[in-house]
Amino acid sequence: MRGLILEGGGMRAGFVAGALMALIDKGLVEFNLAVAVSASVPTLAYFSSGQRKEMEMVWRNELHTPNLVCYRNILRTFFALSNKKPILDIHYLVYEVFKKKYPLDLKNLTHSKIACFFALTDVAKARPIFLTPWDDDIYTIFESALAIPVCYPKPTYIHGHEYRDGGITNLLPLRFLIDKKVDKIVAVLSTPLDYKYQPLNLIERILLYRYFKGNKWILRKLWETALAYEEAKSLLKRLSQQ
């Protein structure tokens, strides 16, 4: 069984989108199962529904605008987080860009041969969870999958449970694919294989003290996730040499 794993990484995930567009152009789209994290979640959905054009339009035209990146709110964040004035307006991205301007072809997604899984973080249990496109409204799933701490502090819920960006608890869910008995894996990373992930330095923790004072579990989890990320990359390197 052939699997695909897509790393997130904010704007770095544009590289992941470019790689998937190249796969589409070459006709290399035969995957049985795929999992994506964070910014690569919508990209996987467009890939699975065969919407290369929409994927490219989103990445080329929509992600550098002031409608999404609210620079004027960066300084405010250090003093008081506001659900109405986030650094990244994920609600706009999901409902104005993904849903209205470049809507997913849900029929194609339904009939796709790729079983898609989207990584999220279950806030109550502080652990990763993997949802399919049909576990709820897909745009609601997108909002939770992209809900980055600090940058988008608004709580997001699915069936009454709070979820956030999957990268908090699992940056590279390689074991998820292996546990699904996938024997051939294509991994598209947004960082070099030898990249060392550093959650937050001292200055960042001081500046964001107000946020993490009320979300200490996130700070703890980020360090655990960093170690798991190194292990996943080491495993990926070993698998590539087999």
- Kind and range of the H or E element at 230? helix 216-240
Say which residues have a Cβ less than 8 Å from residue 201's Cβ, sequence separation at least 6: none
Measured in whole angstroms, the distance separating CA 73 from the mean position of its chain's CA atoms is: 22
**Is residue 85 helix, strand or coil?**
coil
Successive 10-residue mean pLDDT values, the chain, 242 residues: 96 97 97 98 98 98 90 68 80 98 97 97 96 96 95 92 96 96 95 84 68 80 92 92 82
Render 26-58 in DSSP notation, one character per residue.
TT----SEEEEETTHHHHHHHHHTT-HHHHHHH
Domain ranges for the chain, please list them.
2-240
What token pair was written down for 25?
Answer: 């152009």
**Looking at residue 80, what is its pLDDT?**
62
**Looking at residue 158, what is its pLDDT?**
96
**Looking at residue 197, what is its pLDDT?**
83
**Is residue 36 helix, strand or coil?**
strand
**Looking at residue 149, what is its pLDDT?**
87
> What's the number of CA atoms in the CB half-sphere (13 Å) around residue 236?
24
What token pair was written down for 164?
Answer: 């956030």
**Looking at residue 26, what is its pLDDT?**
97
**Looking at residue 196, what is its pLDDT?**
83
Give yes or no for a contact between 89 and 68, defined as CB atoms under 8 angstroms apart.
yes
